[in-house]
Amino acid sequence: MSFTVLIPARLGSTRLPNKPLADIAGLPMVVRVAQRVMSSAGGRVVVAADDAAILSACLTHGIDAVLTRTDHPCGSDRLAEACDLLGLQDTEIVVNVQGDEPLIDPALVSAMAHLLEEQPGVSMSTAAHAIDNWHDFMNPNVVKVVLDARNQALYFSRAAIPHWRDQPSPTHGVGGAGTGALPSPAPLRHIGIYGYRVGFLRQFPGLAPAPLEVIEALEQLRAIWHGHRIAVHVASDAPGGGVDTPEDLERVRRLFELQALT
């Protein structure tokens, strides 16, 4: 199996300035991400940078990279431009790994491409894992997905889906914080990794935003709204956390330091 891993990297970040270049055990974070996914089954790993500083950092450390425009409204537009710069054919497969995921599981990357190879009728692939606690289930910042019998996405939502009509009444502990049982089978938390057919990725930025996408603030709903299917790999474990804040960065730095000592 051959596919291309694209890692979009944007220099601007409100919570963590210059995030792709943040040092993790002596290397820029985006370089750590690229090195991590090189052990997946993909034939090529390319960073889609929006700044010459990111491009230079990648090339210095032997990471393939292309320089994309700075005015893309969303990540999928940057990926589509990268496909054009690389001369990829519409029939090829790309996997989008975010540039702030230095703990990403390479096997998860490979699974995205496998789904597209195995299911020719789908345009995209993504991943999910079982939610094991009531607070995540109720948290609107935790995106949920419900699947059909073929493990294709029916809907993504910030709401607690599926709604359990006959759920036992939640209990209330100290301070009135509620806890409750989870439905069975377990609800699924969406993991933000995607595989695409290149032809669809080129088409996607031109699709009109979907009303549900605007309401939920979830871009993947645009694909479903326009009739495209999304295959979902259900992982056995939650992925390693990404880096969104200075606290996240320190946590990942400590993990890399511990790995270097063992």
pLDDT digits (tens, 9 = 90+) for 31-40: 999 999 998 7
187: which 2 tokens? 């609800």
75, two tokens: 């990540």
User: Smallest Cα–Cα separation from 49: which of 35, 37, 36, 31?
Assistant: 31
**pLDDT tens for each residue of 27-65:** 999 999 999 999 877 779 999 999 999 999 999 999 999
Q: Is residue 19 part of a domain?
A: yes
In a domain, 146, yes or no: no
Number of domains in the chain: 1
Q: ∠ CA 249-79-190 to the nearest 5 degrees?
A: 55
Q: Is the pTM of this model over 0.85?
A: yes
CATH of the domain at 99: 3.90.550.10
Spell out the residues 6+ positions from residue 74 whose beta carbon is closer than 8 angstroms to its own. 205, 219
Residue 253 in any domain: the answer is yes
177 in a domain, yes or no? no
Structural domain including 202 reads: 4-128+188-261
| Position 176 pLDDT exceeds 50 | no
Q: Is residue 249 part of a domain?
A: yes
85 in Cβ contact with 44 (< 8 Å): no
- In a domain, residue 133? The reply is no
Query: How much is the average pLDDT of 169-196?
Result: 79
Q: Is residue 157 part of a domain?
A: no
Beta bridge partners of 80: none
Q: What are phi and psi of 193, to 5 degrees?
A: -130, 145
pLDDT of 170 above 80? no
Residue 150 lies in a domain: no
